Amino acid sequence: MKTSFPRQDIKVLLLEGVSRTAVEVFERAGYSQIEYHAKSLPEDELKARVADAHIIGIRSRTHLTAEVLEHAKRLIAVGCYCIGTNQVELTAAARLGVPVFNAPYSNTRSVAELVIAEAIMLLRGIPQKNALCHRGGWTKSASGSFEVRDKVLGIIGYGHIGTQVGVLAESLGMRVIFHDIETKLSLGNARAAGNLDDLLERADVVTLHVPETPATKLMFGKNELDRMRKGSLLINASRGTVVDIDALADALRKEHLGGAAIDVFPVEPKGNDDPFVSPLIGMDNVILTPHIGGSTLEAQDNIGIEVASKLVRYSDNGSTLSAVNFPEVALPEHPRSRRLLHIHRNVPGVLSRINELFSAGNINIDAQFLQTNADVGYVVIDVSADEQQAASLKDKLAAIPGTLRTRVLY
């Protein structure tokens, strides 16, 4: 289908080494202006690179703050090639008329597998034994080494990842308890703990799977660590801001915890050439991984396809299905009509102004789709109009008070 804004004029900026499958999706769809960076960019360079970008693709490291987004004057959409979207100021993006997409499930299994592997390794004391062997030592002993069977796994945040971890853990014979702020359907024999303290007091291994929100920031500090059983183990593959890392280092030094596996940190290096600094460095009973919970080839390839496809679909057809900050509209193709998009602040009266415009111009509306959220209204109008009429309608739509963006798609 011919779009009114040629695809070859649409600039796609891809950062943080997103999978090449994303590039292939864009290229197959006719998008040829693709700027690809293997790293996240320092803020000044980011502001410069986003200035003429229509589509931006990032992973967890790039912070698209309101200030950065203000520099992206041509921005149509953002794709987070990951699950977390905390790195984007979602409300600011919505207020600029920019939908943000992610891949809510594509790396779920990868994180769950890593967590299970870490639970096994930690319960067997493998990190310490491995470190000692590398130093030429040898401690063949069963002391402090346990099977996972029959141990209690406490899952905090029983969402997509938490439930997958629970299912895998039960298949190994673990007893699963969980805590969530929402009421959740238990899978298998998992049971909701009475509350967070109850979970901490019962679990042999605690694993965190909450998103980064104001409520989860430092939700796991000295109090929570003190509540954990002596010798128990902590796994965090959620976000580095969730755990007070100094309090964790302290609990490990005092041997209150038996070990930990940490994949995410309050401050993470921007790329693979930058140094990693953490109070946990040098602790043999701690597995440190460089935020690779979701970094498997399977997950990254799927994420590349999933997010790029959502971005292409929005750019070509206007569909916002599964956008995380935007009214969701799934649109059929109407190739014989012209499609106009109108994104506006969600204030009373905009839709009637839009419809007045069409009736005054005697333009027939073939189909109309409207969805709103607290901040934004999104209207898609398919009309019988020629190219000139569509261009003039776009200008008139843009003049309606409260308008954030208008586009003629085709």
**Contact status, residue 36 vs residue 52, Cβ threshold 8 Å:** no
403-408/338-345 β-pairing: antiparallel
Asked if 157 interacts with ligand HPV (CB under 6 A), we say: no
The stretch among 29-37, 76-84, 191-199, 246-254 that binds ligand HPV (CB under 6 A) is 76-84
Q: Is 237 exposed, middle or buried (0-12, 13-18, 19+ CB in 10 A)?
A: buried
Q: Name the catalytic one among 268, 328, 334, 405.
A: 268
Number of residues that this document lists for the chain? 410
**Contact status, residue 83 vs residue 103, Cβ threshold 8 Å:** yes
The stretch among 232-240, 332-340, 352-360, 381-389 that binds ligand NAI (CB under 6 A) is 232-240
Asked if 236 interacts with ligand HPV (CB under 6 A), we say: no
Q: Which does 364 bind (CB under 5 to 8 A by kind): ligand HPV, ligand NAI, none?
A: none
Supply φ then ψ for residue 227, to 5 degrees.
Answer: -70, -25
Asked if 157 interacts with ligand NAI (CB under 6 A), we say: yes
Q: What gap in Å lies between CA 77 and CA 74, rounded to an integer?
A: 9
Q: Is 268 a catalytic residue?
A: yes
Total interface residues for ligand HPV by CB under 6 A:
11
Q: What gap in Å lies between CA 264 and CA 259, rounded to an integer?
A: 16
Asked if 395 interacts with ligand NAI (CB under 6 A), we say: no
Binding string to ligand HPV for residues 24 to 63, with x set by CB under 6 A, is what?
-----------------------------------xxx--
Q: Which does 59 bind (CB under 5 to 8 A by kind): ligand NAI, ligand HPV, none?
A: ligand HPV
Widest CA span in the chain: 86
Sheet holding 77-80, edge to edge: 33-36, 11-14, 55-58, 77-80, 100-101
Q: Is 278 exposed, middle or buried (0-12, 13-18, 19+ CB in 10 A)?
A: middle
| Closest-approach residue to ligand NAI (CB) | 159
Q: Which does 61 bind (CB under 5 to 8 A by kind): ligand NAI, ligand HPV, none?
A: ligand HPV
Q: Name the catalytic one among 49, 239, 313, 344.
A: 239
Asked if 109 interacts with ligand HPV (CB under 6 A), we say: no
**Contact status, residue 228 vs residue 257, Cβ threshold 8 Å:** yes
Residue 299 CB, nearest approach to ligand HPV (Å): 8
Among 38, 48, 66, 181, binds ligand NAI (CB under 6 A): 181
Residue 84 CB, nearest approach to ligand NAI (Å): 3
Among 40, 102, 238, 241, binds ligand NAI (CB under 6 A): 238
Asked if 127 interacts with ligand HPV (CB under 6 A), we say: no
| H helix intervals, 336-386 | 350-360
Asked if 107 interacts with ligand NAI (CB under 6 A), we say: yes
Q: Is 95 a catalytic residue?
A: no
- The count of other CB atoms within 10 Å of the CB of residue 192 is 16
Residue 208 CB, nearest approach to ligand HPV (Å): 12
Among 174, 219, 248, 283, binds ligand NAI (CB under 6 A): 219
- Of 60 and 317, nearer to ligand HPV (C-beta) is 60
Asked if 373 interacts with ligand HPV (CB under 6 A), we say: no
Beta bridge partners of 287: 261
What DSSP line would sit under 125-193, residue for residue? THHHHHHHHHTT------TT---STTPEEEEES-SHHHHHHHHHHHHTT-EEEEE-SS--PPPTT-EE-
Nearest 5°: the CA angle 344, 26, 304 is 90
Among 25, 49, 76, 107, binds ligand HPV (CB under 6 A): 107
Q: Is 81 exposed, middle or buried (0-12, 13-18, 19+ CB in 10 A)?
A: buried
- Of 103 and 393, nearer to ligand HPV (C-beta) is 103
Asked if 158 interacts with ligand NAI (CB under 6 A), we say: yes
Q: Is 70 a catalytic residue?
A: no
Chain residues binding ligand NAI by CB under 6 A are: 83-84, 107-108, 111, 156-162, 179-182, 209-213, 215-216, 219, 237-239, 263-264, 291, 293-294
Catalytic sites, residue numbers: 239, 268, 291
Interface residues toward ligand HPV, by CB under 6 A: 59-61, 81-84, 107, 291, 294-295
